[in-house]
Structure 1
Amino acid sequence: MSENAATTRQLTKRYGDRVAVDAVSMTVRRGEVYGFLGPNGAGKTTTLRMLLGLVRPTSGAASILGRPAGRPHPPGTVGALIEGPGFFPYLSGRANLRTLARHRGFGDAEVERVLDRVDLTERGDDRFKGYSLGMKQRLGVAAALMGDPELIVLDEPTNGLDPAGMADMRALIVDLSRDGQTVLLSSHLLAEVQQICDRVGVINDGRLLRESTVAEMRGGVSLRVRATPVETARAIVARAAADRSVRDTPDGLVSDLPADAAPDLTRALVAAGVDVREIAVVERSLEEVFFEMTAGLHRPAADPASEAARDNKELVS
């Protein structure tokens, strides 16, 4: 059995002269939560559609659980929610799921299990058209969870959820991973993904800029020093930092010194007569790293609505 749940190799999608996805090679390992990150229109959804075999790539290849993209999988092997969930508006949430369950070979007990998993049991008999955006999203996730699939692909799963709902979704994704399931989720909310993902891939303008663990992406910790006089403090920090960088920021001096250097640095500053106002350990967020990675990339992003419309015309039958 391959250790990878999903892979793409030089996956590319062109719409006329526009390259929506540009030679993306990504690897999702079994049992991990993989965050596919990027702004709206970056190519996330088109990549996921190609991975799932819903859209034909212009070039390149993709596979899921060892099978080429588009090859049928046994029911309950792969679950997915791509863009918005599509259900019959005049049926209840429960009836919609029962319709899907019959098609996939599952019983009513599985419907009740997934309704409970997304906290919709009490609203299951309400018509879908009366659901809030967040409830519709949760019902879509419930559909993706039918059969306890090995791989779950979620496109912007927190879309439309309030803060409490987002927290519940984060907890659900973590629980799925703990149960041994693999979760591939796309998002433009980098702060959200930072809390739950093992590894991430950052995409912008259709190109995969980097793929690594969250810790590697964010880099190590730094020390921030707020002290006066600044010139004296800078000299002492630079001497302690040796060949490490020291940067002036609006919040103070930031160096790449490790956290355990703080006591010695504090003593050196005080001994030199410097007034120390703060020494703090700081870490870059994924959002900060993303902005650093995409600085200078100014190609206009695709309109996600028009890109989705083009995708829909090319659905693999």
Structure 2
Amino acid sequence: MTNELVVTDRLTKTFGNRTAVRDVSLTVRRGEVYGFLGPNGAGKTTTLRIVLGLATATSGTATVLGLPAGDSDAVVRTGALIEGPGFYPYLSGRDNLRSMARYRGLSDREVDEVLERVDLTARGKDKFKSYSLGMKQRLGVASGLLGTPELLVLDEPTNGLDPAGMADMRKLIRELADQGQTVMLSSHMLAEVEEVCDRVGVIAGGKLLVESSVRDLRGTAATLVRAEPLDAALAIGMRLAGDDGVHLHDGASMRLDIDPGRAPEVTAALVAEGIRVFEVRPIEQSLEEIFFQLTGTPVDTTLAADSISTERQVA
């Protein structure tokens, strides 16, 4: 049994003169939640489509569960929600899932189980056309869970969900991984990735910029100092951390890019200059700060329920 469920090697996809994905090499390991993070139009959906066999690469390779992407055996063992759910509008949510289950030789009991997992049991008899965007998204995830796939690929799984629904979806994804399933999800919501993912791949402009665990990506913690007067404290901070190692934080404190283990040294230097010290503690970079450093692109930590990915329109 391979420990690497998804492997791409120099994956490239072009559309005419436009390169959507360029030399992307990534690895998704068994039992983890892998976050594919990037702004709209970065190449996330195109990459996932190739992994699922819905599109062919211009060059490079992709394997899923040790098989070429799109292989029938790999497809059977993979669940997916890609580019939004598509169902019959005049059938109920449950009947939509039943039609999919029967095609795959699965029982109605499995349909009821996945409806319960995404909290749609009470609305399972309602017609799909009456569902909200968030409910449609949850039904799409339920369809991906049919058959208990080894690998679940989700494209923006929390799109359209309210805060409570987003929290429930994150909890579900973590439960799936804890039970041995592997989840690969794309997102440009940093809070989602930070809370639920074990490892992330950051993509921008079709290129994979980094692949790392969330912990390693955030790196060594810096030191947060809250002291007054702040101007005088900043001068001491620059002496200790260098001009480029001092950053204003929340307008009332400073972040020093130095090991938190130097907190006693920092405190002593400030007190020696008569500066009042209120707080000295470790602080880690957020994924938002790291993403901006890697791409030069600020990313919203929240996403409007009705926003539509540019990537989905062009890829």
Same fold per superposition (TM over 0.5): yes
- Other-structure match for 2:152: 152
The aligned runs of 1:217-228 (5 Å cut-off) are 217-228=217-228
- Other-structure match for 1:163: 163
- Other-structure match for 1:274: 275
SS in 2 for 1:192: helix
User: Deviation digits for residues 46-71 of structure 1, max 9, x if unmatched?
Assistant: 10000111101111110100000111
Greater Cα shift, 229-238 or 5-14: 229-238
Alpha-carbon shift at residue 22 of structure 1 (Å): 0.8
- Other-structure match for 2:38: 38
- Structure 2 residue runs without a partner (length 5+): 299-308
The structure-2 alpha-carbon separation of the partners of 1:305 and 1:199, relative to structure 1 and needing over 3 Å to count, comes to closer
Q: Is the 8 A contact 1:176 1:182 kept in 2?
A: yes
Greater Cα shift, 216-225 or 186-195: 216-225
Alpha-carbon shift at residue 231 of structure 1 (Å): 6.2
Q: Is the 8 A contact 2:4 2:65 kept in 1?
A: yes
Greater Cα shift, 162-171 or 267-276: 267-276
CA distance in 2, matches of 1:248, 1:178: 38
Alpha-carbon shift at residue 120 of structure 1 (Å): 0.5
Letter in 2 for 1:247: V
- Other-structure match for 2:302: none
- Other-structure match for 2:260: 259
The aligned runs of 1:1-317 (5 Å cut-off) are 1-73=1-73, 77-230=77-230, 232-234=232-234, 236-237=236-237, 246-249=245-248, 251=251, 252-295=253-296, 303-308=310-315
Q: Is the 8 A contact 1:92 1:128 kept in 2?
A: yes
Q: Is the 8 A contact 2:45 2:312 kept in 1?
A: no
Percentage identity across paired residues of the two chains:
58
The structure-2 alpha-carbon separation of the partners of 1:104 and 1:216, relative to structure 1 and needing over 3 Å to count, comes to same
- Measured on the aligned residues, the alpha-carbon RMSD in Å equals 2.2
User: Deviation digits for residues 265-307 of structure 1, max 9, x if unmatched?
Assistant: 324422431122443432211111111111289xxxx942432
Letter in 1 for 2:254: L
Alpha-carbon shift at residue 240 of structure 1 (Å): 5.3
Greater Cα shift, 165-174 or 265-274: 265-274
CA distance in 1, matches of 2:77, 2:171: 22
SS in 2 for 1:161: coil
CA distance in 2, matches of 1:76, 1:119: 25
Q: Is the 8 A contact 2:65 2:74 kept in 1?
A: no
User: Deviation digits for residues 199-224 of structure 1, max 9, x if unmatched?
Assistant: 00011111111100001111111112
- Structure 1 residue runs without a partner (length 5+): 309-317
Letter in 1 for 2:58: T
Aligned length: 303
CA distance in 2, matches of 1:75, 1:205: 28
CA distance in 2, matches of 1:200, 1:116: 29
SS in 2 for 1:193: helix
SS in 2 for 1:6: strand
- TM-score after normalising by structure 2: 0.90
Greater Cα shift, 87-96 or 247-256: 247-256
Letter in 1 for 2:55: V
SS in 2 for 1:26: strand
Q: Is the 8 A contact 2:237 2:246 kept in 1?
A: no
Q: Is the 8 A contact 2:34 2:184 kept in 1?
A: yes
